[in-house]
């Protein structure tokens, strides 16, 4: 009975992350984020390091779902359960990562693991991912974080929260924050009624994502 109860709790919490398929296209979960892009001495992208801090309401819901011993806190094993559920739930969404090199999508490996923490009544998630194939900084390379279903709003409140480690001297780093109205106007030809009414989302939503844009001469 204990195993079935635990499984049911995990399934319910997983629904918190993937129930966007039942929601309209506006966010229900909010997170402040930081992204650090690590560059190696060979000009190749070594890793994307993510930190997400979730809003109080969603965090309290997670606490209720995962606090198995009802002590109003999440211990080490409970936090591992949280991280495992999120890891599995976001696999189909590429962990909300969008990376492109000179206009072409870059495939990313799934993070080996996620780490969950609960500080000041807020859920914090940390994870690291790497490009599937070597990604060298040439021309324009973009890094963004977005939820294609619009269920979760990932917000970089300060430009400095999109950062680069070991940026080559011939590269320029720019934070791009698209204006939603301008993005719609510029992409009207491809934004169809199905896009707005499809609750499962699609890749066109990346036009709204805040991006870290690296432009290199090398």
Q: What pLDDT score does 24 carry?
A: 45
Kindly tell me if the per-residue pLDDT of 127 is higher than 60: yes
Give a yes or no: residue 64 inside a domain. Answer: yes
Q: What pLDDT score does 12 carry?
A: 42
In the sheet that 97-101 helps form, which strands lie side by side, from edge to edge? Answer: 104-105, 97-101, 139-145, 211-216, 171-176
Q: What pLDDT score does 7 carry?
A: 40
> Cα 171 to chain center, whole Å?
25
Q: How far is it, in rounded angstroms, from Cα 97 to Cα 35?
A: 10
209 lies in which domain range?
Answer: 2-8+25-216
Give a yes or no: residue 14 inside a domain. Answer: no
Q: Could you please report the per-residue DSSP string of 77-113?
A: HHHHHHHHHHHHHTGGGGGGEEEEETTEE--BPPPS-
Give a yes or no: residue 42 inside a domain. Answer: yes
Q: How far is it, in rounded angstroms, from Cα 48 to Cα 56?
A: 26
Q: What pLDDT score does 90 carry?
A: 93
Q: Round the average pLDDT of the chain to a whole number and report it.
A: 83
Q: How far is it, in rounded angstroms, from Cα 173 to Cα 208?
A: 19
Tokens standing for 26? 């506006």
Give a yes or no: residue 189 inside a domain. Answer: yes
Q: What pLDDT score does 4 carry?
A: 40
Residue 72, CA distances (Å) to 8, 13, 57, 121 in order: 19, 16, 15, 10
Kindly tell me if the per-residue pLDDT of 33 is higher than 70: yes
Tokens standing for 127? 């994870």
At 18, is the pLDDT very low, low, confident or very high (cuts 50, 70, 90)?
Answer: very low
Kindly tell me if the per-residue pLDDT of 204 is higher than 90: no
Of 89 and 24, the one with more pLDDT: 89
Q: What pLDDT score does 40 carry?
A: 97
Q: How far is it, in rounded angstroms, from Cα 59 to Cα 69?
A: 17
Give a yes or no: residue 98 inside a domain. Answer: yes
pLDDT digits (tens, 9 = 90+) for 143-200: 999 888 778 889 999 999 999 999 999 999 999 997 666 555 555 555 455 455 554 5
Give a yes or no: residue 18 inside a domain. Answer: no
Give a yes or no: residue 17 inside a domain. Answer: no
Q: What pLDDT score does 21 carry?
A: 38
Number of compact structural domains in the chain: 1
pLDDT digits (tens, 9 = 90+) for 56-114: 999 999 999 999 999 999 999 999 999 999 999 999 999 999 999 999 999 999 999 99
Give a yes or no: residue 20 inside a domain. Answer: no
């Amino acid at each position: 009975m204990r195993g079935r109860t635990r499984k049911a709790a995990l399934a319910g919490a997983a629904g918190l992350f993937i129930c966007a398929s039942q929601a309209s296209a506006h966010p229900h979960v909010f997170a402040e984020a930081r992204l650090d892009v690590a560059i190696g001495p060979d000009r190749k992208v070594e890793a994307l390091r993510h930190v997400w801090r979730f809003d109080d309401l969603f965090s309290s819901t997670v606490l209720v779902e995962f606090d198995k011993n009802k002590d109003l806190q999440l211990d080490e094993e409970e936090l591992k359960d949280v991280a495992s559920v999120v890891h599995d739930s976001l696999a189909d969404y590429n962990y909300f990562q969008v990376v492109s090199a000179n206009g072409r999508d870059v495939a990313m490996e799934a993070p080996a693991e996620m780490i969950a923490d609960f500080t000041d009544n807020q859920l914090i998630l940390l994870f690291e991912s790497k490009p599937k194939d070597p990604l060298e900084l040439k021309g324009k390379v973009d890094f963004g974080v977005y939820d294609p279903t619009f269920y979760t709003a990932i917000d970089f409140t300060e430009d400095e929260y999109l950062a680069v480690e070991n940026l080559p001297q011939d590269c320029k780093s720019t934070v791009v924050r698209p204006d939603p109205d301008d993005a719609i106007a510029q992409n009207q030809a491809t934004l169809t009624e199905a896009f707005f009414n499809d609750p499962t989302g699609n890749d066109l939503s990346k036009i709204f994502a805040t991006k870290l844009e690296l432009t290199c001469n090398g």
